[in-house]
Structure 1
Amino acid sequence: MHIRPARPDEAELLTGIALRAKAYWGYDEAFMAACREELTLDAAAVERASTVVAEDGGRVLGFAALTVVPPSGELVMLFVEPDRIGRGIGRTLFEHVRDRARAAGLHRLTIGSDPNAEPFYRAMGATRIGSTPSGSIPGRELPLMELKLGSGL
């Protein structure tokens, strides 16, 4: 497996991964329909965020997207194909993004986490610092996580 930059022409593929990974947690069709727009990427979104994919044997297994507003960054998406969850792909993507953020001189990463993914981000060293409104479901609050990357905060 290797990590490489995502290509803008992979937006539809990445959208499929995001939707399948979200559905992995057992959300019903109505919930998934409400999330579809927020989880849909286009070529511009892939380019706007620093998006990387985990690939093995030509198959994209997952992806992560980072936005940067110094001195902080935001992990805006991290999704893994459901048949590969639990095999270290998410960890590898997270560590890659974390290392890139550190190399860019960022002091912290924030993450608006799905509640089901909060234990993963805690295992990666992030702490919950509050909550943030869902971009898809009115009135739903999501865990807001933070990973401190270095001095300055």
Structure 2
Amino acid sequence: MRSKAVWRYDSAFMELCRPELTATPEQLDAHYWRCAIVDGAIIGVVELVVHQDTATLEKLFVDPNDMVSGVGRQLMCMAQRHAIASGASKIEIDADPGAVPFYEKLGAHCTGEVESESIPGRMLPKLILNLA
């Protein structure tokens, strides 16, 4: 939640996002997860789902204190390697608007918009990161 809050959303907005940002036991079992840990504390997490030739980035969050440390890039590299090894040719990303520049630096490009799962009517940038 702290990672999302860095974009200065109010508490009501953050509460609406909580269910989507919370990992369920089923997701932990079924999806690809990696954490970045420093001194016993989780400072970053990535969740990826692969369906045939397309991977979907479900979550990528980095502690606000570590956002410019390269942790996000390292987590994305792990996710990309897993996607490629699983046969995916691209990663789809429904991004927070504030995170778009990060994904573009990794080579992703915007392909349109998608409706937020948390807030009906709120549109989010849809990006594709080609892996080939």
TM-score by shorter chain over 0.5: yes
State how far apart, in whole Å, the 2-side matches of 1:23 and 1:67 are. 24
What's the CA shift for 1:102?
1.2
Q: 1:141 aligns with which of 117, 123, 130?
A: 123
Number of the residue aligned with 2:82: 100
Listed as ranges, the gaps of 5+ residues in structure 2 are: none
What's the CA shift for 1:24?
1.0
Please give the residue correspondences for 1:3-152 in structure 2 after superposition, counting only pairs within 5 Å. Answer: 19-150=1-132
State how far apart, in whole Å, the 2-side matches of 1:59 and 1:148 are. 32
**Which stretch of structure 1 is more off in the superposition, 99-108 or 134-143?**
99-108
What's the CA shift for 1:56?
2.1
Task: Output one character per residue of 1:5-37: Cα deviation in whole Å (capped at 9) or x when no partner.
Answer: xxxxxxxxxxxxxx1101111000111011111
TM-score when normalising by structure 2 = 0.96
TM-score when normalising by structure 1 = 0.83
Structure 1 stretches of at least 4 aligned residues deviating more than 4 Å after TM superposition:
none
Number of the residue aligned with 1:11: none
Question: 3-state SS of the aligned residue for 1:99?
Answer: helix
Task: Output one character per residue of 1:31-65: Cα deviation in whole Å (capped at 9) or x when no partner.
Answer: 10111111111222212211111112322110000
- Say how many residue pairs are matched: 132
